[in-house]
Amino acid sequence: MLDGLRALIAIDKSGTVSEAAVHLRLTQSAVSKRVQALETEVGYQVVERDGRRLRLTSAGIDLLSRAKPLLVEIEGLKFSNKLHEIRVFSIGISDSIASSWGPAVLRRAINLMPDLKLEVHVHRSTLVIENVKLGRYDLGLVTGHSPVGGLISTTLGTEEMVLLGKRKRSENKPVLTIETASATWREIGAAATTHPQFQDKRFEYVESFAAAAQMAREGFGQALVPTGMASLRV
């Protein structure tokens, strides 16, 4: 049943057997057989045709809503057991987290599990997520609150944004912050650009929060950065 539920989740997210097969790294035939086996086991139809795509039946939706929490718990148990078995653990971290509170958290984890060797990879959040999906990394620490299809995710916390640097009234220097294509800006962009504090200011976007903070320290403008980055001294 577990394999059938995983196939059902993949179809629910993608809408096609072919896309579900890519996500699960199976053949289309294998995905179809898993769904058929699930329908045989539960005794009712869980998917139906919707033009060229598939959608869950009302019974399938009900099954998935009840089974998903259990499946998450089971996957969590597997993950917990894996920690006791492996000695090399690969983790991807977004560059903004790696530049602020991330290293301290990793150090505490190493202190708790001294036999575990961490392989740390620093990328943009989107690339970290992609590598976790492909199985290259065991875990990812990324920015953003949006759920990621096919992955088990949890919110660790919310980091406040602060304005770094001083600005004289006579100056027309910009607010420096992360580029608009980043996961962080997708979360905060709308609120930041409409906030009363920034109504008379223009934004300039750079490749990283570290660059924005350092440029602010050198007088190029103010920087809108996470609190962990603001406290960092380079």
Note whether 2-81 and 161-230 share their fold.
no
* pLDDT confidence of residue 71: 75
Give the contacts of 107 (CB within 8 A, at least 6 positions apart): none
Task: Tell whether domain 2-81 is in CATH 3.40.50.80.
Answer: no
Percent of residues, the chain, with pLDDT higher than 70: 87
Domain range summary for the chain, segments of one domain joined by +: 2-81, 86-141, 161-230
Sign of the Cα torsion 175, 177, 181, 184 reads: negative
* pLDDT confidence of residue 32: 92
* pLDDT confidence of residue 227: 84
C-beta of residue 64 within 8 angstroms of C-beta of residue 12: yes
Least confident interval from 80-89, 97-106, 114-123, 134-143: 80-89
* pLDDT confidence of residue 155: 78
| Selection from 92, 111, 112 nearest residue 102 by Cα | 92
Phi first, then psi, for residue 27 (nearest 5°) are -80, 160
Least confident interval from 63-67, 177-181, 228-232: 228-232
* pLDDT confidence of residue 84: 53
Percent of residues, the chain, with pLDDT higher than 90: 18
Give CATH for domain 161-230: 3.40.190
Q: Which residues pair with 93 in a beta bridge?
A: 122, 141
* SS3 (DSSP) at 72: helix
- Per-residue pLDDT tens digits for 62-78: 998 888 777 766 666 55
| Average pLDDT over all residues of the chain | 83
Helices (H) and strands (E) in the chain, counts: 10, 9
* pLDDT confidence of residue 177: 92
Q: Please report which confidence band the pLDDT of residue 166 belongs to, taking 50, 70 and 90 as the band edges.
A: confident
- Per-residue pLDDT tens digits for 181-219: 887 888 888 888 888 888 778 899 998 888 898 898 888
Place of tokens 């653990």: 89
* pLDDT confidence of residue 162: 87
* pLDDT confidence of residue 150: 63
Give CATH for domain 86-141: 3.40.190.10
- Per-residue pLDDT tens digits for 8-47: 888 988 888 988 888 788 899 999 999 999 999 999 999 9
| Selection from 133, 131, 127 nearest residue 149 by Cα | 133
